């Protein structure tokens, strides 16, 4: 089995990440080594670039520009969100035929894998031979059949550092200012990013103390009780909450653009909502930080293993395709937790398309308000080294000389 | 003139920053060199620690712990926001006398300088000789009589990187998702942090395209017009907006009802508000990121010069005090923009107490929706190096083979 001779098109889809450009870098640098690949093109704005024939010749870019992809966040080719219908699919095939494109690589999440799968199926049905490969990418980490997804490790690291910093900040100001801090994390259907804030912990009482995931039905009374208990013990509370937390009926707690009983539009923000509930019901000052897309795309927080693996899945996509494969996503296969090692495999696109991986129940604490050691073992090597440990004073108290001050 | 023999108390106040602990490090390491200083104490939670005699002996902490202060964000001694009345001031003096404290260093913003000034005045009036020094700290950069404030350079760097990343992200997704991104920056009365997002720019059309500051009266119609113009030209818009933007009558645009101990209104959400106005009035999808306290305290983004200067102002406070000075804040004095160099000076606490420095009018563009080269010259060396430049593809377009796709 060997790859056809023809051109390659690479495209990116969905939300950009800190490391997705490393995957393009891996594709370009590897593709240039194989004589089967007669041209390396990039589609501008994902599949839209194929539909409109907005293709650029990546082989003409300077090697320095290509190498710098590894240090540039977001999608250098531009992204899109578009579900293809039959007419679109036919157009895609027409474009591929017109340019003798035999390799199509789609870099994205489960929607993108669905698109890649459909293209692969249609080409086969039309008797047009192709090598279609999916390259996984999503901070949400919700693709099935892969240990994890490039993009997740970096956002996990970023959020863990943000939580550690917020923890130190809140400890310092709790007595006269905000004692409760909520960080709202991305993740509509799965709590991987939210759970990763657990990596902030150096000591048992460190931030975060509470974690709320879409995988566990959210009850406001239990939440308030949880918060009060931590507050009574520590005098401050750090909470990670997923944007997608939902009630026992599966209804998302706070939806953007919904209108509350007072006719006020709810701005995106379960975190702001919960901060207000705490203020009203518990009478404790609470604030929410919502880093939003900054968490998704920050190169400042990028994890080294994530950067390397994002490159690897691009590189391997070329290798698998040139070996003659078609209709697979490159998967990451963990070989060992510590020392961490990971290799790649292939999984049929149809198994990945539109499926979603949530946090397994046995990674979540019995109370449903935290993650356990299994989660930590899983997530820690993906985020990699956080930062040097922060210090704390030993606090050698000086003997008091005066009576207590009563004000 | 020489310093008295006695103990030293150091305290931190206001919002913690990424570099404020470097100032404690500077104080401790310098104080241990001077025989006039018979003890180096830290007050837990700012002036509250003095009132309640919660003092710790910093000389007993290991040198390694002290050195690690430079890499630990937030206030290691804890912070507070407390305005002292006469009874409090008398208690402070009683505590100082009881422990033979002759050196008091308060590390904070203008409220803290006011507190330090009152303590210095009262000690003088009571005939108790002291060396009271202010050590500047505020991300808001609004202290007068100093070129800038430790803490600002790091938040400037963090926000510039966040804006650059958000710019790349929005460019990539503008065509099918969010085309307008607002980043809400801290800054109640001054726009220094908001303005610093300008440092994100590598090319003229890079993010941010619009900057709104509390120094310029905000007009919603002009804002919408500005946004539409940039959108029409580029297809996306990146906006930095200060939490404290206000209308022509000086009324803050969006405020929540809570008030802190100094009577400052806690602000949340002008960014979300404006994103909704854009959606409603212009019909373009807009989102707001509000990194909140993460911007203030992130060690990930810390500026090297800021870390060094935060150490320096702590070190110099000890040196000035041991030389016999009383009632001054250590100021940073810029000697040159490029190559950047900065030394220290002293300024009377009463000149700094409660005054606020806003962005000079000649640092702001004539249209009032951006900052100019003077601002950049000022802020750039404080933020220091951002990150390696990001790449862009040259985009060598492939010739189209088919008719245009009409869907």
Q: What CATH number did the domain enclosing B172 receive?
A: 3.40.50.460
Same domain? For B235 and B277 the reply is yes
Q: Is B107 annotated as a binding residue?
A: no
Same domain? For B37 and B10 the reply is yes
The pLDDT assigned to B155 comes to 97
Indicate yes or no: CB of B297 within 8 angstroms of CB of A169: yes
Same domain? For A14 and A124 the reply is yes
Measured between CA atoms, the residue of chain B closest to residue A271 is B290
State yes or no: pLDDT of B228 exceeds 60. Answer: yes
Q: Which two tokens stand for residue B206?
A: 């890079």
Q: Measure the CA–CA gap between A387 and B66, rounded to whole angstroms.
A: 17
Burial letters for B128-140: b for 16+ Cβ neighbours within 10 Å, e otherwise? eebbbbbbbbbbb
Residues of B in contact with A401 (CB under 8 A): 53, 95, 98-99
The pLDDT assigned to B164 comes to 95
The pLDDT assigned to A385 comes to 86
pLDDT tier, B372 (very low <50, low <70, confident <90, very high otherwise): very high
The pLDDT assigned to A365 comes to 98
The reply to whether A149 touches chain B by the CB within 8 Å rule is no
In a domain, B85, yes or no: yes
Smallest Cα distance from A284 to chain B, Å: 12
Chain A stretch 342-371, residues whose beta carbon is closer than 8 A to a beta carbon of chain B:
none
Smallest Cα distance from A153 to chain B, Å: 16
Q: Is B21 annotated as a binding residue?
A: no
Q: Is A335 annotated as a binding residue?
A: no
Residues of B in contact with A175 (CB under 8 A): 45, 48, 78, 80
The pLDDT assigned to B389 comes to 82
**Residue B311 CB contacts under 8 Å (≥ 6 apart), including other chains:** B22, B23, B25, B26, B70
Q: Which of B114, B140, B142, B306 is catalytic?
A: B140
Sheet holding B286-289, edge to edge: B210-212, B237-242, B180-185, B286-289
Indicate yes or no: CB of A60 within 8 angstroms of CB of B396: yes
Nearest to A396 among B56, B183, B298 (CB): B56
The reply to whether B28 touches chain A by the CB within 8 Å rule is no
Q: Is A140 annotated as a binding residue?
A: yes
Q: Is the Cβ–Cβ distance between B14 and B114 less than 8 Å?
A: no
The pLDDT assigned to B267 comes to 45
The pLDDT assigned to A123 comes to 97
Burial of A405 (0-12, 13-18, 19+ CB in 10 A): middle
Give the side-chain half-sphere CA count within 13 A for B126.
Answer: 17
- Please report, to the nearest 10 degrees, the dihedral formed by the alpha carbons of residues A203, A371, A307, A28 taken in order: 180
Which site among A165, A254, A276 would you substitute to test the B interface, given the most B Cβ atoms closer than 10 Å to its Cβ?
A: A165
Higher pLDDT, B303 or A268: B303
Strand, helix or coil for residue B385: coil
State yes or no: pLDDT of B266 exceeds 70. Answer: no
Which site among A172, A275, A300 would you substitute to test the B interface, given the most B Cβ atoms closer than 10 Å to its Cβ?
A: A172
Would you put residue B153 in left (φ > 0), alpha (ψ -120 to 50) or beta? alpha
Smallest Cα distance from B252 to chain A, Å: 19
In a domain, B402, yes or no: no
Same domain? For A50 and A167 the reply is no
Angle, helix A86-98 to helix A110-125, in steps of 10 degrees: 70
Strand, helix or coil for residue A132: strand
The pLDDT assigned to B2 comes to 83
Same domain? For B341 and B377 the reply is no
- Please report, to the nearest 10 degrees, the dihedral formed by the alpha carbons of residues B81, B85, B87, B90 taken in order: 80
- Name which of A272-281, B302-311, B333-342 the model is least confident about: A272-281
Chain B stretch 233-292, residues whose beta carbon is closer than 8 A to a beta carbon of chain A:
258, 260-261, 268-269, 272-273, 275-276, 287-292
Same domain? For B192 and B327 the reply is no
Q: What percent of chain B has pLDDT over 90?
A: 87
Q: Measure the CA–CA gap between A11 and A22, rounded to whole angstroms.
A: 13
pLDDT in tens, chain A (407 residues): 688 999 999 999 999 999 999 999 999 999 999 999 999 999 999 999 999 999 999 999 999 999 999 999 999 999 998 889 999 999 999 999 999 999 999 999 999 999 999 999 999 999 999 999 999 999 999 999 999 999 999 999 999 999 999 999 999 999 888 999 999 999 989 999 999 999 999 999 999 999 999 999 999 999 999 999 999 999 999 999 999 999 999 988 887 554 444 444 444 579 988 998 999 999 999 999 988 888 899 988 899 999 999 999 999 999 999 999 999 999 999 999 999 999 999 999 999 998 999 999 999 999 999 999 999 999 999 999 887 789 999 999 999 999 999 88
Residues of A in contact with B12 (CB under 8 A): 172
Same domain? For A69 and A163 the reply is no
Q: What CATH number did the domain enclosing A312 receive?
A: 3.40.50.450
Residues of A in contact with B171 (CB under 8 A): 74, 78
Smallest Cα distance from A48 to chain B, Å: 10
The reply to whether B61 touches chain A by the CB within 8 Å rule is yes
Q: Which two tokens stand for residue B371?
A: 């900052």
Same domain? For A164 and A124 the reply is no
Nearest to A53 among B389, B390, B401 (CB): B401
Range of the domain at A89: 6-150+300-352
Q: How far is CA B187 from the centre of its chain?
A: 8
Q: Which residue has the tokens 């909502």?
A: A273
Nearest to A53 among B258, B288, B402 (CB): B402
The mean predicted confidence, pLDDT, of chain B is: 94
Indicate yes or no: CB of A398 within 8 angstroms of CB of B99: yes
State yes or no: pLDDT of B270 exceeds 60. Answer: yes
In a domain, B285, yes or no: yes
Q: Measure the CA–CA gap between B96 and A49, rounded to whole angstroms.
A: 72
In a domain, A391, yes or no: no
Chain B stretch 287-346, residues whose beta carbon is closer than 8 A to a beta carbon of chain A:
287-294, 296-301
The pLDDT assigned to B261 comes to 54
Q: Which residue has the tokens 């300088």?
A: B113
Query: Tens of pLDDT along B114-160?
Result: 999 999 999 999 999 999 999 999 999 999 999 999 999 999 999 99
Same domain? For A250 and A369 the reply is yes
Same domain? For B197 and B239 the reply is yes
The pLDDT assigned to B263 comes to 55
Higher pLDDT, A258 or B345: B345
Give the residue-averaged pLDDT of B31-51.
97
Q: Measure the CA–CA gap between A371 and A363, rounded to whole angstroms.
A: 6
Same domain? For A68 and A83 the reply is yes
Q: Is A139 annotated as a binding residue?
A: yes
In a domain, A341, yes or no: yes
Which site among A292, A299, A392 would you substitute to test the B interface, given the most B Cβ atoms closer than 10 Å to its Cβ?
A: A292
Q: How far is CA A386 from the centre of its chain?
A: 17
Q: Measure the CA–CA gap between B351 and B345, rounded to whole angstroms.
A: 14
CA angle A71, A74, A80 (to 5 degrees): 150
Q: How far is CA B164 from the centre of its chain?
A: 19
Burial of B342 (0-12, 13-18, 19+ CB in 10 A): middle
Give the side-chain half-sphere CA count within 13 A for A200.
Answer: 29
Query: Tens of pLDDT along B182-215?
Result: 999 999 899 999 999 999 999 999 999 999 999 9
Same domain? For B252 and B345 the reply is no
Q: Which of A88, A114, A140, A206 is catalytic?
A: A140
> Is A257 a known active-site residue?
no
State yes or no: pLDDT of B268 exceeds 60. Answer: no
Indicate yes or no: CB of B298 within 8 angstroms of CB of A162: yes
HEC profile for B71-134?
Answer: HCCCCCCCCCCCCCCHHHHHHHHHHHHHCCEEEEEEEECHHHHHHHHHHHHHHHHCCCCCEEEE
Count of structural domains, chain A: 2
Smallest Cα distance from A357 to chain B, Å: 24
């Amino acid at each position: 089995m060997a790859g056809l001779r023809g051109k390659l098109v690479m495209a990116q889809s969905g939300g950009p990440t800190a490391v997705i450009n490393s995957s393009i870098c891996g594709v370009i640098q590897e593709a240039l080594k194989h004589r089967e690949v007669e041209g390396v093109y990039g589609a501008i704005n994902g599949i839209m670039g194929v539909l409109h024939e907005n293709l650029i010749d990546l082989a003409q870019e300077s090697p320095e520009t290509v190498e710098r992809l590894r240090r540039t966040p977001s999608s250098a080719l531009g992204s899109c969100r578009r579900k293809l219908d039959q007419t679109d699919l036919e157009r895609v095939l027409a474009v591929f035929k017109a340019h003798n494109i035999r390799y199509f690589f789609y870099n994205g999440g489960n929607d993108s894998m669905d698109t890649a799968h459909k293209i692969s199926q249609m080409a086969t049905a039309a008797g047009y031979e192709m090598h279609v490969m999916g390259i996984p990418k999503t901070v949400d980490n919700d693709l099935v059949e892969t240990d994890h997804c490039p993009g997740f490790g970096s956002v996990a690291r970023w959020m863990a550092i943000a939580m550690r910093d917020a923890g130190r900040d809140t400890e310092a100001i709790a007595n006269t200012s905000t004692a409760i801090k909520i960080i709202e994390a991305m993740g509509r259907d799965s709590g991987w990013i939210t759970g990763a804030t657990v990596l902030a912990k150096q000591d048992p009482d460190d931030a975060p103390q509470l974690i709320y995931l879409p995988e566990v039905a959210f009850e406001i009374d239990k939440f308030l009780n949880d918060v009060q208990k931590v507050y009574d013990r520590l005098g401050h509370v750090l909470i990670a909450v997923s944007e997608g937390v939902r009630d026992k009926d599966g209804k998302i707690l706070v939806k953007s653009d919904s209108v509350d009983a007072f006719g006020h539009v709810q701005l995106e923000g379960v975190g702001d909502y919960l901060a207000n509930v705490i203020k009203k019901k518990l009478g404790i000052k609470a604030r929410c930080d919502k880093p939003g897309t900054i968490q998704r795309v920050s190169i400042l927080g990028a994890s080294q293993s994530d950067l390397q693996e994002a490159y690897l899945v691009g590189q391997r996509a070329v290798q698998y395709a040139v070996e003659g494969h078609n209709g697979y996503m490159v998967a990451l296969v963990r070989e060992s937790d510590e020392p961490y090692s990971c290799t790649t495999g292939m999984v049929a696109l149809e198994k990945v398309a539109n499926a979603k991986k949530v946090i397994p129940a046995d990674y979540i604490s019995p109370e449903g308000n935290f993650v356990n050691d299994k989660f930590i073992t899983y997530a820690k090597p993906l985020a990699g080294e956080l930062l040097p440990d922060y210090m704390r004073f030993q606090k050698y108290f000086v003997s008091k000389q005066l009576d207590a001050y009563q004000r």
